[in-house]
Amino acid sequence: MPVLDAYVTSNPCQFILWAMRTFQTNHYTAPSQSGVCTRWAAFPIAHWLESQGYDVTYASGTDMHADPDRLRRVKGFLSVGHDEYYTLAMFENLQRAISAGLNVAFLSANTCSGCIDLLADSGGLPNRILRRFARFGGLPGRTADNFPEATRLPGTAPNENTLVGARTLELFSGTSDWTCTLPDHWLFHGTGMKRGEGIPGLVGWEFHAEPAEISGLEIVASGPTESHYGKGVFTATIYPGPRGNFVFNASTCWWGDGLAEPPGYVRPGAVLSPRGPDPRVQRITANLLERMRQSPDPEMSSS
């Protein structure tokens, strides 16, 4: 069975994830109350990882906020589904871990868009109350017109594309085929994909665009999106870290649909819908995990 130390996190239910209690089993830690986002986002990815025998640890964004050394104890970090809300500490901890050699696969979208504070509850227990603080990268386009409440956020935060590789713009919702643009990249090894070939309906319901100006960043998939909000362009990227590591951005909330459809799974859909498990998505994911497995261990923090 493949052995990979990986850390998987998600924001399964926006607005309430960090305010909820968690339950713990011998296998994983998960929100005590999970919604439909968990069933179509985190569930199929976890199911596929477990079915393939990968050695993974599951944790919440609160762990990334409060225990940054956890990120140095694994070779890979997987952000899955809809991973919108990060504190500044989460952003900075993940960036430092990448600088130390952590590999990251953002199998998600709308990732690191909303900047939040985590506050103590009335009893003094830390990290129990979520407060929106800022929009990472400011307010793109006509966001201020469409969401005037965003102009009242009290803080500022860096552009999320410097972490993820691309970012959420004003037009954040749309669906598309996930269309290959760089077929000779190691990411596509064994898939047989050609330039312009798409995986039907895999992009949705949100996506990333506006890739960052990061040295070595490559656009591996891109194409037009459609929604009742209008037309956009999704951009999937990969860029190198400083120690032979990498950061991959799939630019879709629906990546898990291409991996598995376990019992109880709820397939998402909008203008387009994904088509279920696809050997190309499975092979791309396996390529990412194998590259993580072969990489050096991240440097441990000196603090």
- Please count the structural domains in the chain: 1
Query: Residue 194 falls within a domain, yes or no?
Result: no
Tokens, residue 226 = 């459609």
pTM equals: 0.89
Query: Residue 36 falls within a domain, yes or no?
Result: yes
Please check the confidence at residue 28 and state whether its pLDDT lies above 90: no
Q: Which range, of 31-45, 169-183, 211-225, 282-296, averages the lowest pLDDT?
A: 31-45
pLDDT of residue 16: 24
Query: Residue 226 falls within a domain, yes or no?
Result: no
Q: Which helix (H) or strand (E) holds 91?
A: helix 88-99
Please check the confidence at residue 212 and state whether its pLDDT lies above 80: yes
Query: Residue 191 falls within a domain, yes or no?
Result: no
Please check the confidence at residue 173 and state whether its pLDDT lies above 60: yes
pLDDT of residue 63: 87
pLDDT of residue 179: 98
**Distance (Å, rounded) from C-alpha 189 to C-alpha 286?**
10
Tokens, residue 176 = 């598309």
CB-count exposure of residue 25 (10 Å: 0-12, 13-18, 19+): exposed
Query: Residue 229 falls within a domain, yes or no?
Result: no
Query: Residue 175 falls within a domain, yes or no?
Result: no
Angle at 284 between CA 283 and CA 285, to 5 degrees: 90
Strand partners, 23: 30
Query: Residue 250 falls within a domain, yes or no?
Result: yes
Q: Which of 1-15, 64-78, 113-127, 208-222 has the highest mean pLDDT?
A: 208-222
pLDDT of residue 22: 28
90: containing domain: 6-165+235-267+277-294
Please give the DSSP secondary-structure letter assigned to residue 128.
Answer: -
- Amino acid in position 296: P
Q: Which residues contact 5 (CB under 8 A, 6 or more apart)?
A: 55, 57, 73, 74, 75, 76
Q: Which of 9-13, 48-52, 264-268 has the highest mean pLDDT?
A: 48-52
Question: Which residue in 75, 87, 111 sits closest to 246, CA to CA?
Answer: 75
pLDDT of residue 148: 78
Phi and psi dihedrals of 91, rounded to 5? -60, -50
Average pLDDT, the chain: 85
- pLDDT band at residue 91, thresholds of 50, 70 and 90? very high
Tokens, residue 248 = 């991959």
Query: Residue 259 falls within a domain, yes or no?
Result: yes
pLDDT of residue 255: 96
